[in-house]
């Protein structure tokens, strides 16, 4: 069965890679663009439910613009969906930096008292021209504090430490940002920052890496999977996860989470996984 999350075709257009398999009348390679909003909802249909979010500066391939909506492929993970046309801007110079703090701002001048132009989330991608007076100067003339940025090529080798940056972030179904995030969005953000390939949704994340045989063998960075939920271990006993019970990213003993989730939410644990540190 075709997984619509990764099938780049609608009734009018298909990505050229589908070739003869496509039923749509038109084929295209698409047009590269970037997100210009702090976060933009990637929807399953125009105006439909949010599947996930695309962050400022992230690249998409636009297959079609139709009645105010762009049919796109998110370059980072191949996810397909619809973004409002206004969320996108033409691709110019490639990004050079990313936001490493949970959130930040673009200022109008190299001064923290100057008006802020836009919020930014962890993972947002920026094109920097130079450094000046403690700020990264962006191609659009905005300024971002150097304390909040890191070169795009720099890795955060401890995914669990990245997950901890989001502690207290509000739970948001389909959220991918420091303003709101869900369980699989947290896992993806943590592994992406470490340079590790990671799909967006928990059903796909449950197949990552290699199996861990028992909860007694869990260690920092391991994944604990339920049917419809996922979390990451901070050590042998504590789990960090974005969850609707706390409506936030929270840390709790795995034993407590396991008992509650089994009784009230997703049932028993379905998988324990450990990622290799091999880079994608």
Asked whether residue 102 carries a pLDDT value surpassing 90, the answer given is yes
Residue finishing a domain among 151, 175, 194:
151
Residue 230 and residue 182: Cα distance in Å, rounded? 9
Q: Is 113 exposed, middle or buried (0-12, 13-18, 19+ CB in 10 A)?
A: exposed
- Interval 22-49 mean pLDDT: 98
What is the sign of the dihedral through the CA atoms of 188, 72, 139 and 113? negative
In a shared domain, residues 127 and 225: no
Residue 59, beta-bridge partner list: 34
pLDDT tens column, 66-77: 999 999 999 999
In a shared domain, residues 19 and 82: yes
In a shared domain, residues 166 and 235: yes
Mean pLDDT of the chain: 96
Report if residue 279 sits inside a domain: no
Residue 35 CA neighbour count, 13 Å, CB half: 28
Question: pTM for the whole thing?
Answer: 0.96
- Interval 130-140 mean pLDDT: 96
pLDDT of the residue at 277: 55
Report if residue 280 sits inside a domain: no
Asked whether residue 276 carries a pLDDT value surpassing 80, the answer given is no
Counting the structural domains of the chain, the total is 3
Asked whether residue 171 carries a pLDDT value surpassing 50, the answer given is yes
Residue 150 and residue 227: Cα distance in Å, rounded? 35
Structure tokens at 128: 């920097």
pLDDT of the residue at 278: 38
Structural domain boundaries enclosing 132:
97-151
């Amino acid at each position: 069965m075709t997984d619509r999350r990764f099938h780049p075709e609608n009734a009018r257009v298909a990505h050229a890679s589908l070739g003869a398999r496509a039923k749509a009348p038109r084929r295209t390679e698409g047009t590269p663009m970037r997100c210009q909003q702090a976060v933009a909802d990637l929807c399953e249909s125009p105006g439909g439910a949010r599947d996930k979010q695309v962050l400022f500066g992230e690249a998409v391939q636009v297959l079609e613009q139709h009645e105010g909506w762009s049919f796109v492929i998110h370059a980072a993970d191949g996810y397909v969906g619809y973004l409002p046309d206004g969320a996108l801007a033409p691709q110019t110079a490639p990004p050079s930096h990313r936001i490493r703090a949970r959130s930040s701002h673009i200022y109008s001048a190299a001064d923290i008292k100057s008006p802020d132009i836009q919020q930014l989330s962890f993972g947002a991608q920026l094109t920097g021209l130079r450094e000046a007076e403690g700020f990264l100067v962006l191609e659009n003339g905005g300024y971002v504090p150097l304390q909040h940025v890191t070169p795009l090529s720099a890795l955060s080798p401890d995914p669990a430490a990245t997950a901890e940056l989001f502690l207290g972030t509000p739970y948001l179904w389909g959220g991918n940002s420091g303003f709101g995030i869900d369980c699989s969005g947290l896992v993806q953000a943590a592994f992406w920052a470490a340079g590790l390939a990671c799909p967006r949704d928990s059903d796909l994340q449950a197949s990552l890496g290699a199996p861990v045989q028992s909860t007694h063998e869990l260690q920092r960075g391991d994944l604990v999977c339920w049917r419809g939920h996922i979390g990451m271990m901070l050590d042998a006993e504590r789990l960090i996860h974005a969850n609707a019970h706390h409506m936030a990213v929270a840390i709790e003993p795995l034993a407590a989470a396991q008992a509650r989730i089994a009784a009230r939410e997703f049932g028993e644990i379905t998988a324990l996984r450990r990622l290799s540190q091999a880079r994608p």
